[in-house]
Amino acid sequence: MTLARVAAAARRATALPLVLAVAAIDVDDGGSVGVDDTAVLPVASTSKLLLLAEVARRLESGELSPGQPVAVAPSDVVHGTGLLGRLDRRGWTVQDLCWLTAAVSDNTATNALLGLVGLDATARLAADLGVDALTLHDRVRDVRGPGDPPVFATGTARALAELVARAARSTMTSPGASRRLLHWMRSNTDHGLVPALVAHDPYATCFPEPLPGGLLVANKTGTDTGVRADAGILIGARRVAYAVVAHWDTALGDSTERAAVHAMRDVGRTLADYAGQAPPPGA
């Protein structure tokens, strides 16, 4: 099986009233495919990978320490995904906030981390890594006013997949920072999009080493009005980094959302088939 089948699965969505952008990268041999993978789209919380990458860089450089306390300001507290805004405690460490952001896409933790490192730093890192199509425009807000950026973040499937591939290759600023990002991604509790129909072990302790005869997943999802996104890595006989972003007009109704999720899961099954198949001898 080749990556071309992943692209074919993505193209099956072209008859649907939505955009399905897909990028897949074989981490080890460098092969890749894409469908609408350079289209700049809202990518919701998958963009938090860029924020976590910047924090990981600073932890490895010594600019931050894992146990460093971070005060969560009242202005950081927002609704939506996460737990921190519902908890009484307000004193957390850098490492705590990263786990919350990665595991449950905690919006309040995200805002606290953004306050710590700043939007400009994430833009510099994206440029340094060659994924500058991925942009955090703002903090997370409950309500976006006329003077606010219209969306939290935009990006391309290609940029998201490249960021994950860099982490898997240990070339995301440093091997240590790469490991941190992958392990944070491994804690994500939302496997309802690309990996939903993929048999995998979410708890195997061998990660990021392959599980003999099985598949491992590490990912980050994003959900917003008219947007579903998922970026991550499938590890089997092969390692494949991926990003799938669906975008549609919500005026079309709930059926379009269901079609988008179904299409993403279909791509996921094809990615899993590729990851589970050993490359030919000598490849």
User: Tens of pLDDT along 149-190?
Assistant: 999 999 999 999 999 999 999 999 999 999 999 999 999 999
Q: What predicted TM-score, i.e. pTM, was given to this entire model?
A: 0.96
- Give residue 280's pLDDT: 67
Sheet holding 153-155, edge to edge: 41-42, 153-155, 135-136
Please report, rounded to a whole number, the percentage of residues in the chain having pLDDT higher than 70: 99
- Write b or e for each residue in 135-145: b if 16 or more Cβ atoms lie within 10 A of its Cβ, otherwise e: bbebbbeeeee
Token pair, residue 181, equals: 């990002």
DSSP element (H, E) containing 20 = strand 19-26
pLDDT digit string, tens, across residues 233-266: 999 999 999 999 999 998 888 899 999 999 999 9
- Give residue 74's pLDDT: 86
Whether 211 and 199 have beta carbons less than 8 Å apart is answered as: no
Residue 101 has pLDDT above 90, yes or no: yes
- Give residue 216's pLDDT: 98
Q: What are phi and psi of 35, to 5 degrees?
A: -130, 115
Using only C-alpha atoms, the chain has a radius of gyration, in whole angstroms, of 18
